[in-house]
Amino acid sequence: MTIENTSSNKAFGGWHKQYRHPSSTLSCDMQFAIYLPPQASESTPVPVLYWLSGLTCTDENFMQKGGAQRMAAELGIAIVAPDTSPRGDNIADDDAYDLGQGAGFYVNATQSPWAKHYQMYDYINEELPELIKSTFPVNDKWSIAGHSMGGHGAIMMALRTPEKYASASAFSPIVNPINCPWGEKAFSAYLGDDKADWREYDSTELLRKSSTQIPMLIDQGLADNFLAEQLKPQSLVAAATDKEYPLTYREHEGYDHSYYFISSFIEDHLRFHAKHL
């Protein structure tokens, strides 16, 4: 596979780099960013935290605004931030911000015109980790985290394939997408009208039937404009309580949905994952 390095910046003794590569899963070129801490070498491969971003974001938002590199360098953890959807002139899109390019929702679309390219679940869970492992000095220990739509993706993927991840965390995640406007719109477009298919990508539904547990951390700002209508974290918290699932849920007065919130607590998340990696 051809992989092209498009930018490199030294940070905290390590390197932040962007790459483009052709994706066979998505049938288009994709971009991702990786932060390699100074410890990373062929003789000392490091664990990886996959970061999934939210609606309208690319790989750049978190890497530039999240403030994660200093602690990642201290802990010796690589961070991989993929894009949030396939992109390109010939790829299906929508005029709204919450569907189409920038809004892949980390599912495998089954409906036209989305199914040809929008296979983000397989890309994140299979193709990209294989590429990262074969290209960079990383080991077989992975964790996953994300924000908003990406928080949905991170928790959902950890629940569906717990054998792949040592831990999972999220900021302001969409935890019950089958029961919120963002999720209902995206799932009906990408997956069709059968809500049984939707449940396979809904974290609350998945946790209720989970048989394997992995540690999870969720942070939620109480000044988040999307909290009541879109995020509904109490649905996941209730399911976790019923299942005695190892979920740590924290609420924070005054914090909103922005990267100011993420950057305030990202070091906590990195330390949390380091314990399990």
pLDDT at 1: 65
At 185, phi and psi to the nearest 5? -65, -50
DSSP 193-255: S-HHHHHTT-HHHHHHT--S---EEEEEETT-TTIIIII-HHHHHHHHHHHT--EEEEEETT-
Selected catalytic residue, list 117, 152, 257, 269: 257
**What distances in angstroms separate CA 54 from CA 75, 84, 264, one per listed residue?**
25, 7, 17
What is the C-alpha to C-alpha distance for residues 89 and 93, in angstroms, rounded to an integer? 9
Sole residue written with tokens 């960079």: 136
pLDDT at 206: 98
> In tens digits, what is the pLDDT along the chain, a chain of 277 residues?
689 999 999 999 999 999 999 999 999 999 999 999 999 999 999 999 999 999 999 999 999 999 999 999 999 999 999 999 999 999 999 999 999 999 999 999 999 999 999 999 999 999 999 999 999 999 999 999 999 999 999 999 999 999 999 999 999 999 999 999 999 999 999 999 999 999 999 999 999 999 999 999 999 999 999 999 999 999 999 999 999 999 999 999 999 999 999 999 999 999 999 999 9
Residue 153 gets which letter from DSSP? Answer: H
Residue 83 catalytic? no
Residue 257 catalytic? yes
Residue 210 catalytic? no
pLDDT at 2: 86
Nearest residue to 257 via CA among 121, 65, 102? 65
pTM: 0.97
Selected catalytic residue, list 148, 167, 210, 235: 148
Sole residue written with tokens 């959902």: 156
Selected catalytic residue, list 224, 235, 269, 273: 224
* CA 175 to mean position of chain CA atoms: 13
91: CB partners within 8 A, 6+ apart: 28, 101, 117
